[in-house]
Structure 1
Amino acid sequence: MTDLPYLTPLSAEQQRAAGLSEVWPLAHADRVRFSELDPLNHVNNVAYLVWFEIARVAYFKHIDLSRYDDASQEPRIVVRRGELDWLKEMHADEEYVVTSKTIDYRNTSFTMLQEVWSGGTRRAAFQGVIVLLKPDGSGRMPIPDEIRAHFHDVDGVPER
C-alpha cells in the first residue's frame, strides 16, 4: 500500500489496490504513528475515534456540507450517537485506509458508516448518527437538497 497518498481522497483504482472489498465514496490512507500506540504496542482504542473524526470532517468538506470556515452560516454538525466495533488489532507503522459514506437519512439527521482497512482486512467499523443544527444552535436544520442528492447519487442511499 506504500504507493497510496496519505490524507488525500483515493480513486477507485487506489481503493482496490489497497484491498478494499468495495469502492467507497470517500477513502483516505494513512499510517499508524508511535503516539497512537498503547503500552502493548497496539493502536490505542481512542486513536480509532480520532481517525474516524478526521475522515468525517473530510467527508463533510467533500460533499460541501461544511467548509468549517464560517460558523455563522454553516450548520452545526453533531455526532448524536456512535457505535464502534474493534475487529482486529493494529500496530506501529501499519498503513490503513479509512472509508466513509452515508447509509440512511431522515429530515435533519443521517447515519454514516465508516471503516478502517489494513492489508485487505477490515480492522474497525463505526456507525454514527449525525444531526444538523441551525448555525446559531437554536434548533435542528433540514438536510439541504443537494446533500440529499449526494446521498442518493454517490453514496447509494435508496430514494425515500
Structure 2
Amino acid sequence: MSSHAFKFATTIRVRWGDCDAFGHVNNASYLSYFEEARIDYWKAVVPDVPFTGMAIVHASVDFRGQAYPGDVLTIRAAVTELRRTSFWAAYEVLRGDAVMATGRSAQVFFDYASQKPALIPDAFRDRIAAYEGIPLTNAERRTPNAEQTTSNDERTTPNANT
C-alpha cells in the first residue's frame, strides 16, 4: 500500500504484447502504464494549460505481483512534489485490491530549443498544487523577470532544488 492518497486513477486492459515469454506483464510495460496514467492525469487535471515539453530524468518500479493478458488494471497517479523546473510523480498499479507495482518518476520541464530546463508555468503548477493539496511558497512560483537558466546539476539530478 502506498503512503500517498491518490485522487486520480485510470484503467488499462493488459494486452498480449505487454507480456513476456513467461506469460505475465513484462517489467518494461509498467513504465508504459505509468506514461498512460500521466497523460490521462494531464487531460483530467490540466486539460487547458499548454506546455511545450518535459523530459523524464528518473523512473523506478517496485514489482509486487504478476498481471496477465486480459487483466484490467487500475493505475493511480499523483504529483507528489513540485519544484521550480521539475516535479515528482507516484504511481500504483492494482488488479482489484492487489498491488501489482508501485513507482516514481521525476519530470523536468524542458526547452528543447535551448536544451535547458524551463520553469514550470504558473497555471500548470497552481492547478496541480490545488488538485493535490500541495502548498506552494512564493519562491516556487515564477515571477515576470525570472531567469530561465539552471546549472548542469539541476538538469541531471532529480533531487536538485529545482
TM-score band by shorter chain is 0.7 to 0.9
Letter of the 1:28 partner, please give it: T
Distance across 2 between alignment mates of 1:94 and 1:30? 8
Q: Percent of pairs identical after alignment? A: 25
Distance across 2 between alignment mates of 1:66 and 1:124? 30
**Alpha-carbon offset, residue 62 of structure 1:** 3.1
Question: Aligned pair 1:45/2:22, yes or no?
Answer: no
Secondary structure of 2:84's counterpart equals coil
Distance across 1 between alignment mates of 2:16 and 2:39? 23
Distance across 2 between alignment mates of 1:87 and 1:124? 5
Cα displacement string for residues 44-98 of structure 1 (whole angstroms, at most 9, x for unaligned residues): 111111111111122233333788xxxxx84211001111111111112111111
Letter of the 2:113 partner, please give it: D
Question: Aligned pair 1:154/2:131, yes or no?
Answer: yes
Q: Which residue of 2 aligns with 1:75?
A: 52
Checking the alignment, whether the CA contact within 8 Å between 2:51 and 2:121 is kept in structure 1 is no
Letter of the 2:17 partner, please give it: S
Decide which of 139, 145, 157 is 2:122's aligned counterpart: 145
Checking the alignment, whether the CA contact within 8 Å between 1:134 and 1:141 is kept in structure 2 is yes
Q: Which residue of 2 aligns with 1:3?
A: none
Distance across 1 between alignment mates of 2:125 and 2:23? 42
Decide which of 85, 90, 98 is 1:113's aligned counterpart: 90
Q: Which residue of 2 aligns with 1:4?
A: none
Secondary structure of 1:91's counterpart equals coil
Q: Which residue of 2 aligns with 1:130?
A: 107
Consecutive unaligned residues of structure 1, counting only runs of 5 or more, are 1-19, 68-72
Aligned-pair RMSD on alpha carbons?
Answer: 2.5
**Alpha-carbon offset, residue 158 of structure 1:** 3.0
Distance across 2 between alignment mates of 1:135 and 1:59? 23
- Report the CA distance shift for 1:154/1:141 in structure 2 as closer, same or farther (over 3 A): same
Decide which of 3, 9, 12 is 1:27's aligned counterpart: 9
Asked which structure has the greater CA Rg, the reply is 2
Checking the alignment, whether the CA contact within 8 Å between 1:75 and 1:141 is kept in structure 2 is no
Distance across 2 between alignment mates of 1:156 and 1:106? 14
Letter of the 1:108 partner, please give it: T
Letter of the 2:130 partner, please give it: D
TM-score by length of 1: 0.73
Aligned residue pairs: how many?
A: 136
